[in-house]
Amino acid sequence: MKRPTIADIAKRAGVSKGAVSYALNGHAGVSETTRKRILAIAEEIGWSPNTAARALSGSVAFAIGLPLCRPARTLGSEPFFMELVSGLETELSTRSYALTMQVVADVKAEIALYRRWWAERRVDGVILVDLHVNDPRVPVVIELGLPAVIIGNPSGIGGLTGVWSDDAGALTETVEYLVALGHRRIARVTGLPDLLHTRIRDDAFTAIRERLGLAEAVIHPADYTGEESARVTRRLLSSAHRPTAVIYDNDIMAVAGLAVAQEMGVRVPADLSIVAWDDSPLCKLVHPSLTAVSRDIPRYGARAARQLLAAISGARIENYQDATPRLVPRGSTAPPTQTAPPAPAAPPTQTAQTAQPDRA
Amino acid sequence: MKRPTIADIAKRAGVSKGAVSYALNGHAGVSETTRKRILAIAEEIGWSPNTAARALSGSVAFAIGLPLCRPARTLGSEPFFMELVSGLETELSTRSYALTMQVVADVKAEIALYRRWWAERRVDGVILVDLHVNDPRVPVVIELGLPAVIIGNPSGIGGLTGVWSDDAGALTETVEYLVALGHRRIARVTGLPDLLHTRIRDDAFTAIRERLGLAEAVIHPADYTGEESARVTRRLLSSAHRPTAVIYDNDIMAVAGLAVAQEMGVRVPADLSIVAWDDSPLCKLVHPSLTAVSRDIPRYGARAARQLLAAISGARIENYQDATPRLVPRGSTAPPTQTAPPAPAAPPTQTAQTAQPDRA
DNA sequence: CTGAAAGCGCTTACAG
DNA sequence: CTGAAAGCGCTTACAG
């Protein structure tokens, strides 16, 4: 099949290609009647603009870029990205913008990707996720003049704006809730330590610990994977003064923590309360269902897309702080049954054989 | 910053733009020495081809399209897509092909998207997932002449090739394994019923049921969501002759089924064995860990990408059947403790309060 | 309000 | 082996 072009439309309508272009783009320069006629013809012959031609003359790619800098396996099991993508899409698709994704191995590769995308005119703007402390991507994006929106708190990052929610506030609220239930020994198991939002939550945790005098509250760094979370949780639950409540930095780690508790015969929520940071369908599926800190990530993505499109069309954009994440209490949190030294974990009988995986 | 073009390179090298193009693309027409000089200059000034210009003259977009036709929430919680994406990427990125994703509401919208992508020359080829029986996308893609690769078994689909694994074989193997453990009352909880691979697994299930005379083996349709799986599982476990083993069509549904069993006081694997179809990190995290049917989905994606790129460059491509999915036994399967009528489910005490969600 | 023309940055036959 | 030129399908000043 041959694709129709504006030349075809022009011939049919008996006007010049320029006139067709004006009509199609809603510019001044054609009478209302001919515009209508031209639009009707375009519709009839199934014309869509050739993006390449448009990009070449108008210098817009009608695409935005989202680099994904996490290993494939982590990517798959975290709902965050797909939810973000679907949110971005709701805005982009209505304006015929495409979303170009690319998996990169590390920050260095991601920076190279920005340069390549810029040189290729592949995208009109980019979304930055997982900001690090002193993130080296930021100066590069600024230098290239590539419109960008950060997913996360951009404070301290000169020159780029972001869309984020008040993680510090949500963390404080969560700890206060656990304390109100009677918990004192509260642990926080974190995501990758040099991510900016990990830092922000860490700081909030430390602040509330000081304020409420929770001497035994501790932070344990992990990396978002279930494996690492299981390891950390096992160590935590084996300690003499084991925590009565744990806050995990994502849903996967929380589920892994729950499984370790079950494996060690620690009852949830009687002996141990669990809070998952990002809420997800998964949190509602496990038993007991997990109390979680919930954000509307698709809305988040939609907002970021709108900001980015505005920036691309030349508008000055502002930072946007979304609603504070909500704490959604479910079955995994309760008052601790005992604040005295905990009973030693009873070795489970029924499930002991399942400890070694892959017994075939 | 101004982007360098081949005109800049030509000026520096003292040759024509045509010569630069030949040198850069490895075509005949330039001496080896000038080619080297030109490549060095391109490297030095940081040149990358303008994709729009390339697409316009060479009629290649250097992008492939992946429409995602599932609701945002389902998308996020299923590892399958992200793993597929990362597999596609490993091949695409080495050849500077971009992956363009778009979320669509339904098959109709997806068909419109193919037409638009084709008219816009946005992509050079597409990946089709989740094939339906008599899928209406197939004739459209063929009519447009859009190179395409199906993820899934393309038998019965004239004109398009696919990359798939032997689901029927894996299902048969799984049932045989459960029967060898002593199970007779085996249930299968499926994904969306009109997907082709659901049908294929259903047929295999029915065949093995006939062959082994498993009169009580049953199929229950669901939709890949945890909610629906929980509902179906609750009904199954409440029935007089409840199954002793359930095979779920994805990991999320299996986890939900496990949670329902725990909620109802049905011990896994003593009273109930559980098998998850697609293996994922999640299956290893829950307690007990889930026996699963495992495929290497990233490799799958990589293969599909290679096929598609070959098709785009004009090669005739063949169907490719990947390795049969492997059954990975873990802690959720065991011989049934009793084949006689099951004991009534004991109402759990500790967890009763967690039945109502969102008690704040 | 409209038409003819140049230009975006490449690729590729076509002469030399 | 090399150069000059046309063309991909649009957009956009520039004359009329």
Q: Is A80 on the interface with B (CB under 8 A)?
A: yes
Distance A13 CA to D16 C1' (A): 21
What are A126-146's pLDDT values in tens digits?
Answer: 999 999 888 999 999 999 999
CA B190 to CA B16: how far, in whole Å?
A: 62
Residues A81 and A141 in one domain: yes
The CATH number of whichever domain residue B22 belongs to comes to 1.10.260.40
In a domain, B53, yes or no: no
Q: Is B16 on the interface with A (CB under 8 A)?
A: no
In a domain, A95, yes or no: yes
The pLDDT assigned to A347 comes to 47
Q: Do A281 and B76 touch (CB under 8 A)?
A: yes
**Domain count along chain B:** 3
Residues A283 and A303 in one domain: no
In a domain, B102, yes or no: yes
Residues A176 and A230 in one domain: yes
CB contacts of A90 in chain B (<8 Å) are: 103
Residues A71 and A146 in one domain: yes
The whole domain housing A41 covers 6-48
Residue for token pair 């090739």: B161
In a domain, B18, yes or no: yes
Altogether, the residues listed in chain B come to a count of 360
Q: What is the DSSP letter of B132?
A: B
Residues A101 and A250 in one domain: no
Residues A189 and A205 in one domain: yes
The pLDDT assigned to B74 comes to 65
Nearest Cα neighbor of B351 from A276, A267, A350 is: A267
In a domain, B360, yes or no: no
The CATH number of whichever domain residue B252 belongs to comes to 3.40.50.2300
- Any strand D atom closer than 7 Å to A31 CB: no
In a domain, B357, yes or no: no
Residues B308 and B274 in one domain: no
The pLDDT assigned to B159 comes to 81
Please indicate, yes or no, whether the overall pTM of this predicted structure exceeds 0.85: yes
Segments of chain A with pLDDT less than 50: 339-360
Residues B99 and B149 in one domain: yes
CA atoms lying within 13 Å on the CB side of residue B346: 8
Residues B99 and B179 in one domain: no
| Token output for A92 | 């982009």
Q: Where are the beta strands (DSSP E) in chain B?
A: 63-68, 98-103, 125-128, 148-151, 161-164, 186-190, 218-221, 245-248, 273-278, 291-294, 320-321, 326-328
Chain A nearest C-alpha distance from B294 (Å): 12
- Any strand D atom closer than 7 Å to A45 CB: no
Which residues, 6+ apart, have CB-to-CB distance to A71 below 8 Å? none
What are A99-119's pLDDT values in tens digits?
Answer: 998 888 899 999 999 999 988
The pLDDT assigned to A76 comes to 62
In a domain, A348, yes or no: no
Q: What is the DSSP letter of A10?
A: H
Q: Is A145 on the interface with B (CB under 8 A)?
A: yes
In a domain, B97, yes or no: yes
Q: Could you list the pLDDT tens digit for every one of the 360 residues in chain B?
A: 678 899 889 988 888 888 999 999 888 878 888 889 999 999 998 888 888 898 898 778 889 999 988 766 566 667 788 889 889 998 998 888 999 988 888 999 999 999 999 988 899 999 999 998 889 999 999 999 999 999 998 887 778 999 999 999 999 999 999 999 999 999 999 999 989 999 999 999 999 999 999 999 999 999 989 999 999 999 999 999 999 999 999 999 999 999 999 999 999 999 999 999 989 889 999 999 999 999 999 999 999 999 999 999 888 899 999 989 999 999 999 999 864 444 444 444 444 343 343 333
